[in-house]
């Protein structure tokens, strides 16, 4: 029978911090994880900026500024696959079940993976933005704009990470645990991330304008350029919070079943 501490907030924070330390040590011993996650988005960044960029008309003077939000979204989608893989590995090795029998807050087991994902994604995003500056990224965002960018990226990461928890707990194979990320990585290509939606044919344009990535990308782009975000930010937050809330509930149910 599992023995757990009362689910008080201080206990959960303490236990989450301890378990996050364990996961971060594993990442620091293998920094190639962050490098690997960053390589594909950087390759796409270079491809669109220097190969396709001259043939794409966006109406923007700085195509690097236009591209960066979509590249960050692809980076997060790639990174959360590693969260699913870490949870899958812990579950298969019995570590998740063993932690559930210890005198710790049960929710801290999952939250430690979520916090680790958030920290590693911020580190990877910093690398991508640094590459962007080298490629001509010139933002007009002030302090408030950068805080907004960090907030949107953080919430987007949390939402996708809770989504990643589900296959991490439910998958039977390593490939199954990470396969969910492929559609997420593909979605930015059917959005305003690389070209304006106005240039797309009717059905594709409708889909692009009404899927979550477009509103998130347009919000980030406005914050980067220092222009009004309009209704995009509310649509983006509705998508992010909605997906995150549903994923959180399903993940907790799956976790209870797993342990």
Kindly state whether residue 6 falls inside one of the protein's structural domains. no
Question: Residue 4 falls within a domain, yes or no?
Answer: no
Domain that holds residue 248: 28-102+118-258
The tally of domains found in the chain comes to 1
pLDDT at residue 2 in the model: 43
Specify the DSSP class assigned to residue 50.
I
- 219 lies in some domain: yes
Whole-structure pTM value? 0.88
Q: Looking at the domain assignment, is residue 161 inside a domain? A: yes
| Closest C-alpha to 165, from 73, 102, 249, 50 | 249
pLDDT at residue number 58: 66
Are 76 and 213 in contact, with CB atoms under 8 Å apart? no
- Buried b / exposed e over 20-36, threshold 16 CB at 10 Å, is beebeeebeeeeebbee
| Mean pLDDT in consecutive groups of 10 residues from the start of the chain, 259 residues | 54 83 79 73 88 70 89 92 89 82 79 90 90 92 92 95 92 86 89 89 92 95 91 94 95 85
Q: Is residue 1 part of a domain?
A: no
pLDDT given for residue 108 in this prediction = 83
Distance CA 137, CA 129 (A): 8
Q: How far apart are CA 193 and CA 203, in angstroms?
A: 17
Consecutive H or E run containing 153: helix 143-170
Query: Taking the CA of residue 79 as centre, how many other CA atoms within 13 Å lie in the half-sphere pointing to its CB?
Result: 36
* Structural domain includes residue 7: no
Does residue 8 lie in a domain region? Answer: no
Domain membership of residue 205 (yes or no) is yes
């Amino acid at each position: 029978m599992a023995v757990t501490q009362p689910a008080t907030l201080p206990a959960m924070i303490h236990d989450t911090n301890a378990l996050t330390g364990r996961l971060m040590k594993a990442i620091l011993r293998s920094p190639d994880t962050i490098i690997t996650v960053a390589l594909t988005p950087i390759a796409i960044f270079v491809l669109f900026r220097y190969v396709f960029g001259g043939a794409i008309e966006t109406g923007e003077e700085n195509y690097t500024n236009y591209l960066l939000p979509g590249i960050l979204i692809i980076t997060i989608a790639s990174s959360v696959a590693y969260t699913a893989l870490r949870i899958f590995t812990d579950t298969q090795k019995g570590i998740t079940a063993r932690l559930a029998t210890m005198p710790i807050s049960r929710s801290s087991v999952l939250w430690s993976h979520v916090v680790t994902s958030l920290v590693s994604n911020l580190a990877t995003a910093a690398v991508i933005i640094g590459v962007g500056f080298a490629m001509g990224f010139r933002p007009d965002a002030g302090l408030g704009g950068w805080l907004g960018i960090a907030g949107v990226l953080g919430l987007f990461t949390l939402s996708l990470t809770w989504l990643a928890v589900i296959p991490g707990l439910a998958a039977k194979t390593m490939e199954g645990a990470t396969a969910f990320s492929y559609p997420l990585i593909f979605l930015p290509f059917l959005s305003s991330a690389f070209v304006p939606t106005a240039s797309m044919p009717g059905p594709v344009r409708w889909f692009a304008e009404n899927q979550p990535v477009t509103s998130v990308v347009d919000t980030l782009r406005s914050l980067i350029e220092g222009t009004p975000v309009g209704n995009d930010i509310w649509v983006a937050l509705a998508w992010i919070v909605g997906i995150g809330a549903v994923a959180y509930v399903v993940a907790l149910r799956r976790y209870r079943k797993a342990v």
